[in-house]
Structure 1
Amino acid sequence: MRINETIKNIRASCDNYVDKDLVATIIHDNYYMGTNNILEFDDYGIKKDDTYEKRILKILKHENIFLAAGMYTFIPVINECDIYSVNDYNFKLSEDEFEKYANEKERIFGILIKKDSNDFIIGSTDLCGCSIDASFKEIEKSDLDFYKKIEEIIDTLVIY
């Protein structure tokens, strides 16, 4: 994965679901969320005039970084899922699929890039990192429609 180009690609198309200056979040090794205020972060040799992408690359040498690719919410009773990303999607899930993936709250989905690597995991985070238990959660891979749609969206945003 070409991280610099992937960050630029996501930031260029994220207006539907997140502010472009808040698209990246530090995720600690225990998967709890750190700051998403990359423009005010000044550790790891970051300079005031570094671009957003350069800042993330410097942070990535020491921390895991989550890049938001969209947001999803589940609608109980009718087993629907709404996904907001570059494009918006609404689809009905089977009962099993709904039980497997549904959360009681909205979540941001995207990729967690492991520190000092190009390896990434598809997952989600809480909408707000201000809660003490706000964290990253891997989305379990499957052949079900929900995962396929998330994977399809990620594939359009990640530059290889």
Structure 2
Amino acid sequence: MDLEKTITNIRASCNNYIDPNIFAFIISDDMYMGTNNILEIEGYGIENTDSYEKRLLKIARSENIFLPVGVMTFMPILNECDLFSVDDYHFDLTKEDFNLYSSDEEKLLGILVKKDSTDYIIGKTDVCSCSVDASFEKLAESDSEFYKKIKEIVESRIIS
């Protein structure tokens, strides 16, 4: 994965579901969410003239970062999920898939890029990092049509 091109690609069209200037989150090693104020972060060798992408690349050398590709909303009783991304998707889930993937609250769907690498994990986070227990959660891999579509959506945003 070309991290800089991936960041640029996702950021160019993320305004359907998140502000492009606060779209990436720092994720600690214990998977809790940190700040998403990339333009206000100091240190990491960041210079005032660095673009958003350059700042994020410098941070990614020392921190895990989460790049959202959409927002997931689950509807109990109906076993449905709506995903708002570059395109919008509606999923009718089996009871098993709903139990495996659903959340009580709206979640950001995306990739956790491990620090100083291009390795990533597909998962979800809270929409806001302001809660003390806001964290990243890896999506369980499965052979379900839902997971396959999620993986396809995520991988379509990654530039090699």
* Shorter-chain TM-score range: over 0.9
What letter is aligned with 2:7? I
The CA deviation at 1:146 is 2.1
| SS of 2:14 mapped into structure 1 | coil
* 1:71 alignment counterpart: 71
Q: 1:145, 1:74 → 2: CA distance?
A: 16
Q: 2:103, 2:65 → 1: CA distance?
A: 23
Q: 2:108, 2:74 → 1: CA distance?
A: 12
The CA deviation at 1:89 is 0.6
Q: 2:123, 2:98 → 1: CA distance?
A: 16
Q: TM-score, normalised by structure 2?
A: 0.98
Q: CA RMSD in A?
A: 0.7
Q: 2:78, 2:44 → 1: CA distance?
A: 47
The CA deviation at 1:145 is 2.3
Q: 2:124, 2:97 → 1: CA distance?
A: 17
| SS of 2:58 mapped into structure 1 | helix
* 2:116 alignment counterpart: 116
The CA deviation at 1:15 is 1.5
What letter is aligned with 2:59? I
* 1:90 alignment counterpart: 90
What letter is aligned with 1:89? Y
What letter is aligned with 1:58? K
- Give a deviation string over 1:77-129, Cα, whole Å, max 9, x none: 11111000010011210111111111111100100000011100001110110
* 1:49 alignment counterpart: 49
How many correspondences in the alignment? 160
Structure 1 runs of 4+ aligned residues shifted over 2 Å read: none
| SS of 2:142 mapped into structure 1 | coil
Q: 1:17, 1:98 → 2: CA distance?
A: 22
Q: Return 5+ residue gaps in structure 2 as ranges.
A: none
* 2:103 alignment counterpart: 103
The CA deviation at 1:139 is 0.5
Q: 1:145, 1:24 → 2: CA distance?
A: 27
